[in-house]
Amino acid sequence: MKSVIEYIEKNHDRYLEELKEFLKIPSISTDASHAQDVKNAAEYVGQQLQKAGMERVEIFPTPGHPIVYGERITNEEKPTVLVYGHYDVQPVDPIELWQSPPFEPTVRDGELYARGAADDKGQMFIHFKSAEAYLECGKQLPVNIKYLIEGEEEIGSPNLNSFIDSHSDLLKADVVMVSDTTMFARGVPSICYGLRGLVYFQIDVSAASTDLHSGSFGGVVANPAFELSTILSTMKDDHGRITIPRFYDDVRDLTDRERQEFARLPFDEEAYKKDIGVKQLSGEHGYTPLERLWTRPTFEINGMLSGFTGEGAKTVLPARAMAKVSLRLVPDQQPETIEDLFEDYVHELAPPFLEVAVTRMHGGKPWVASLDHPALVAAAQAIQKGFGKKPVFQREGGSIPVVATFAEQLDIPSVLFGIGLPDENAHAPNEKLDLGNFYGGIRSSAYFLDELSRTRIR
């Protein structure tokens, strides 16, 4: 390993330059006018994988943006790691808030600023460079490696599941490595071992067939905005508990070990509140903020619209009201079950004079790995070597549906090793990546391949 790590140290500048080239490509997947850029980014990934010594590199077209695949099979007896990442990026608006142009990568104070620096070009790049380092040092890779790099993560990966389904042999592996999350804090290398799932709905309610005058009709016609408010406000009780019957039936309790691990994390509530501009944190009683964020389900109203919302006053009794709502799920809640429970409950709460339509928008399963899983143990050791510090184990409140997909469709566990930082601005102006974490990430990735070669995982 010594020569590999030394090689990595010597090549920092080249890694940075190559990453900058990657970041210059404005591969915004949601914007049709950038379709060629997205394609160019896919080709750049292909070149990088070739450079990293992959024996097979293929760009698979999809109905949307292409999927890049690479592999190098060294020894069928050894474990196989599948690296997942995405080469597409978020839009850049509001562009005027960027201190340097989003697609002109710029280093300031040890941070590389560019759209995609953290999410996800910079993060996945560490796994290209670790493999490359072995081969450039004249060594064989200690394990088999595969890469699955998509270009539609920022638009909900509409073509990924069917690709995984139809390429399950190709993607056969022992562990998935994903670097698309953040560290708990600066200087705190982290492994994320749990994600929340999601169900998302639109609720449309109506009473009268048209908007009415609130004076001439108020008192005999139901107000859909009021009725919808009542339904929504009933969804949580005074203790922040969701009131949907049987909603908590499948919620897995926190283990004592988890509670202890979370309590040890350097969570600064005052700084956190200041950061997001709230006077006071809120949420379900009986749990700490991190417990609520990572291991407890939520009910949120994501949007709400009814009647007159312009300037001034209009005395309308609206015909309709609409809300977008979602529930974050935790293991072992099943999206389909929760969708059924939610929809039944809305209809049960709705008074008979109200027309109610519940539309299921999309969903994703929650996921949690065992802290004792050998792949996680190997990753923890690798990160400790790469960063000189034991990593913490954390969970994440958001959803990465592909992780649940790997678990369910391919029965492969995932290691979520993020080198981003909580203030990386992933979907905002001035996205950045700490270069120290970038180089530490490459080292850790190299160590991980080595650790994995000595791990009995099957």
Nearer to a second copy (CB atom), residue 250 or residue 284: 284
Name which position in 97, 108, 246, 286 contacts a second copy (CB under 8 A). 97
Binding mask 43-82 for a second copy (x = CB under 8 A): ----------------------------------------
Smallest CA-to-CA distance from 195 within 283, 122, 297 is with 297
Integer Cα distance of 432 and 438 in angstroms: 11
Instruction: Figure out which of the listed residues 21, 300, 340, 408 binds a second copy, where binding follows CB under 8 A.
Output: 300
Kindly identify the residues of this chain, within the stretch 234-273, that bind a second copy according to CB under 8 A. 234-236
Distance in Å, CB of 74 to a second copy, minimum: 36
Spell out the alpha helix ranges (H) of 171-276. Answer: 214-217, 224-233, 256-264, 269-276
Alpha helices for 103-189 (secondary structure H): 121-136, 160-166
Subset of 187-226 contacting a second copy (CB under 8 A): 196, 198, 200, 202, 207-223, 225-226
- Residues 171 and 148 sit within 8 Å (Cβ to Cβ): yes
Tokens found for residue 247: 């909603």
Closer of 190 and 455 to a second copy (Cβ)? 190
**What CA–CA distance (Å, rounded) separates 53 from 135?**
7
Query: Does the annotation mark 153 as catalytic?
Result: yes
Quick check: 27 binds a second copy (CB under 8 A)? Answer: no
Residue whose CB is less far from a second copy, 142 or 363: 363
426 sits near a second copy (criterion: CB under 8 A)? yes
Nearer CB in complex with a second copy: 217/248: 217
Q: Is residue 427 near a second copy by the rule CB under 8 A?
A: yes
If binding is defined by CB under 8 A, does position 385 make contact with a second copy?
no
Instruction: Outline where 167-255 has alpha helix (H).
Output: 214-217, 224-233
Tell which residue, 22, 21, 400, has the closest CA to residue 179.
Answer: 400
Active site residue 249: no
Cβ–Cβ < 8 Å for 360, 346: no
In angstroms, the CA 258 to CA 293 distance is 13
Query: Contacts with a second copy: how many residues (CB under 8 A)?
Result: 96
Give the count of beta carbons closer than 10 Å to the beta carbon of residue 263.
Answer: 11
> Mask: binding to a second copy, 309-338, rule CB under 8 A, as x and -?
xxxxxxxxxx--xxxx-x-x----------
Selecting among 18, 88, 132, 434, the annotated active-site residue is: 88
Binding to a second copy (CB under 8 A) within 344-363 occurs at 351-353, 355, 361-362
Radius of gyration of the chain (CA): 24
- Is 428 a residue that touches a second copy (CB under 8 A)? yes
Virtual torsion, Cα 136, 141, 144, 149, nearest 10 deg: -30
Catalytic residues: 88, 153
